[in-house]
């Protein structure tokens, strides 16, 4: 079995302000430092011994796991396909401004008349990432640091879901764990959005 651990980045300034970040490489908030430390301590406690580590190149994802990876002498491989949904020209605006009747009706396919990347499109790039980098890693433990939208896209790609996906809540610095059968590619979710390491320190 392949063990895939997906981490959402810690809180960014955009998260704190209720703004859309997407592809924008926003800075991390003060709360992020404590969240990243709590995640680092938890990963050490579990002693997972990852074989491969991937990250979105955006700093909010990369730096969420960089200290932990430095401790373990892991090399972090960045991949543009792990970036958040490209929401230009909505980026840096309030999240509430993204909402519309069309979005609420079916947010998986919502494209703002072709102006933004849809969940369907990001799921396709995550599906390609899985085939290229994950499904061939027999018996390996793999860590991926990315974003809420990308975590949802992993769920969509692994479980063939659509409309349910945008409504999944993914906490900052949480961990989602899947076991994947190398032969059948059937994925079983062991944990989704695990955040007890944050709750213990009142960092939600």
pLDDT value at position 104?
74
The SS3 assignment for 95 reads: helix
Enumerate the domain spans of the chain.
2-199
Predicted local distance difference test score (pLDDT) of residue 72? 98
Please classify residue 41 by burial: count the beta carbons closer than 10 Å to its beta carbon, then call 0-12 exposed, 13-18 middle and 19+ buried. Answer: middle
Which helix (H) or strand (E) covers residue 29, if one does?
Answer: none
Q: Which of 78, 75, 49 is nearest to 61 (CA)?
A: 78
User: Under DSSP, is residue 176 helix (H, G, I), strand (E, B) or coil?
Assistant: strand
In this structure, what token pair is assigned to residue 27? 């800075």
Tell me what pLDDT residue 90 has.
85
Averaged in consecutive runs of 10 residues, what is the pLDDT profile of the chain (204 residues)? 97 92 91 94 96 97 97 98 93 81 84 92 98 97 98 96 92 98 95 96 90
pLDDT of 187 reads 97
Residues linked to residue 63 through DSSP beta bridges, in sequence order:
none
Dihedral pair phi/psi, residue 41, rounded to 5°: -65, -40
Name the CATH topology of 2-199.
Rossmann fold (3.40.50)
pTM of the model: 0.96
**Token pair of 119 as six digits:** 């969940």
């Amino acid at each position: 079995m392949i063990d895939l651990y997906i981490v959402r980045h810690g809180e960014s300034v955009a998260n704190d302000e209720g703004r859309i970040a997407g592809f924008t490489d926003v800075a991390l908030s003060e709360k992020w430092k404590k969240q990243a430390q709590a995640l680092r301590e938890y990963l050490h406690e579990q002693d997972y011994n990852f074989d491969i580590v991937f990250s979105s190149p955006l700093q909010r994802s990369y730096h969420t796991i960089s200290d932990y990876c430095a401790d373990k002498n892991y090399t972090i491989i960045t991949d543009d396909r792990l970036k958040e949904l490209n929401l230009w020209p909505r980026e840096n605006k309030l999240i509430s401004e993204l909402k519309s009747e069309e979005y609420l009706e079916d947010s998986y396919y919502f494209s703002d008349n072709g102006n933004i990347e849809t969940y369907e499109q990001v799921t396709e790039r995550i599906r390609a990432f899985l085939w290229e980098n994950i499904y061939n890693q027999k018996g390996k433990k793999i860590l991926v640091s990315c974003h809420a939208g990308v975590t949802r896209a992993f769920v969509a790609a692994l479980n063939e879901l659509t409309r349910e996906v945008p409504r999944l809540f993914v906490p900052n610095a949480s961990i989602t764990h899947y076991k994947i059968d190398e032969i059948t590619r059937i994925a079983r979710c062991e944990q989704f959005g695990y955040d007890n390491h944050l709750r213990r320190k009142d960092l939600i």
